[in-house]
């Protein structure tokens, strides 16, 4: 078992929601640690340009925004560490987070682990991951200069990333299972204006084809059931995300692997455990709203701790 460390607040995750909560907890002079398993920023660190975060009229890159938020939290005395929490437990009135490197104990916990890309779950996808199958346009589009790619999905991520990929690829086939997109109008209009994007509507990818690298995909028309092959050098999968809540099975058996319900203070069904951003049910999944939820949880955690210490 690793070293044992005591805090007032543990924040699990290192994206915008986590870092906003950290700014508030730090300013409230709570001993606070932010635990991130891989790299600070979460999904936003993979975003080349955020155009709708207020205060940046020319847009801001994910990594830059993350660095600014992290520096701001650290200025208020917040500790940040790379460690993956494997298990969270209650020990009387303390919460205990078991990381790979240490054990962290605190009065309150703010869950902000974010979400990971959802898989299509079709043959060939896992086998050819990293060999043409990707979940991040911003990261991998430059490998597809002058190549043909398929992008899958009809949400904001799919359309925004498909547009970004056109900067490199010579052709993007956007495969979506309906005729309507759920993405913002502004992205839909841009996609329809972009000559490099071809729409493949009412279609689903049923198989990724290729031996050592992606050579094509099999698509099925959802109404006729007819299948055909699209030749392609890459497949970008943008079919939504799944919250990183599986490790919470012992505390939230019904919600593990799903979004966590909270009250208006971002408190879960367990007193002193808060949830913010992409792990939270009903979140709008925007950087700006994640930051608002993080700030709310930071304030609410401070009030909750103060009330308890006063015997309330």
Q: Give burial (CB, 10 Å; 0-12/13-18/19+) of 199.
A: middle
Residue 283 tokens, joined: 């979140």
- CB of 286: closest distance to ligand NAP in angstroms? 6
What CA–CA distance (Å, rounded) separates 273 from 262? 10
Q: Where are the beta strands (DSSP E) in 65-202?
A: 79-82, 85-91, 94-99, 102-106, 108-111, 115-117, 133-134, 148-152, 171-176, 197-201
**Orientation of helix 62-75 relative to helix 16-27, angle to 10°:** 20
Query: Please, which residue, 28 or 65, has the CB nearer to ligand NAP?
Result: 65
- CB of 73: closest distance to ligand NAP in angstroms? 23
Is 220 an interacting residue with respect to ligand NAP (CB under 6 A)? Answer: no
- CB of 150: closest distance to ligand NAP in angstroms? 12
- Binding residues for ligand NAP restricted to 57-96, rule: CB under 6 A: none
The catalytically annotated residue of 91, 101, 116, 139 is 139
Instruction: Return the DSSP state at 66.
Output: H
Residue with tokens 């990707």: 134
Active site residue 139: yes
Q: Which of 23, 30, 85, 120 is the binder for ligand NAP (CB under 6 A)?
A: 120
Active site residue 140: yes
Q: In whole angstroms, what separates CA 97 from the centre of its chain?
A: 21
Is 125 an interacting residue with respect to ligand NAP (CB under 6 A)? Answer: no
Question: Which residue's CB comes closest to ligand NAP?
Answer: 155
Q: Which of 26, 41, 153, 210 is the binder for ligand NAP (CB under 6 A)?
A: 153
- CB of 182: closest distance to ligand NAP in angstroms? 4
Q: Give burial (CB, 10 Å; 0-12/13-18/19+) of 55.
A: exposed
Active site residue 51: no
Q: Rule CB under 6 A: which residues touch ligand NAP?
A: 52, 120, 152-158, 160, 177-178, 182, 184, 204, 238-241, 285-286
């Amino acid at each position: 078992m690793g070293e044992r460390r005591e805090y007032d607040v543990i924040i699990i995750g290192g994206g915008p929601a986590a870092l906003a909560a950290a700014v508030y907890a730090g300013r409230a002079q709570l001993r606070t640690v932010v635990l991130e398993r891989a790299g600070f920023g979460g999904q936003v660190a993979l975003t080349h340009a955020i155009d709708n975060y207020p205060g940046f009229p020319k847009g801001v890159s994910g990594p830059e925004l993350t660095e600014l938020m992290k520096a701001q939290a650290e200025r208020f005395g917040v500790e940040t560490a790379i460690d993956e929490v494997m298990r969270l437990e209650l020990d009387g009135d303390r919460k205990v987070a078991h990381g790979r490197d240490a054990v962290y104990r605190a009065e309150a916990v703010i869950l902000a682990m974010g979400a990971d890309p959802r898989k299509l779950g079709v043959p060939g996808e896992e086998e050819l991951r990293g060999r043409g199958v990707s979940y991040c346009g911003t990261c991998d589009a430059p490998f597809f200069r002058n190549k043909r790619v398929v992008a899958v999905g009809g949400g904001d991520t799919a359309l925004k990333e498909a547009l970004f990929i056109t900067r490199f690829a010579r052709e993007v086939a956007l495969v979506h299972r309906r005729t309507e997109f759920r993405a913002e109008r502004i992205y839909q209009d841009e996609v329809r204006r972009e000559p490099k994007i071809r729409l493949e509507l009412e279609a689903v990818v049923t198989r990724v084809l290729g031996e050592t690298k992606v050579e094509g995909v099999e698509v099925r028309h959802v109404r006729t059931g007819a299948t055909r092959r699209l030749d392609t050098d890459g497949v970008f999968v943008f079919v939504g995300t799944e919250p990183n809540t599986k490790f919470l099975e012992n505390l939230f058996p019904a919600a593990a692997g799903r979004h966590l319900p909270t009250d208006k203070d971002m408190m879960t069904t367990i007193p002193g455990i808060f949830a913010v951003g992409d792990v939270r049910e009903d979140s709008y999944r925007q950087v700006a709203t994640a930051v608002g939820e993080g700030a709310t949880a930071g304030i609410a955690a401070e009030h909750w701790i103060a009330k308890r210490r006063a015997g309330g």
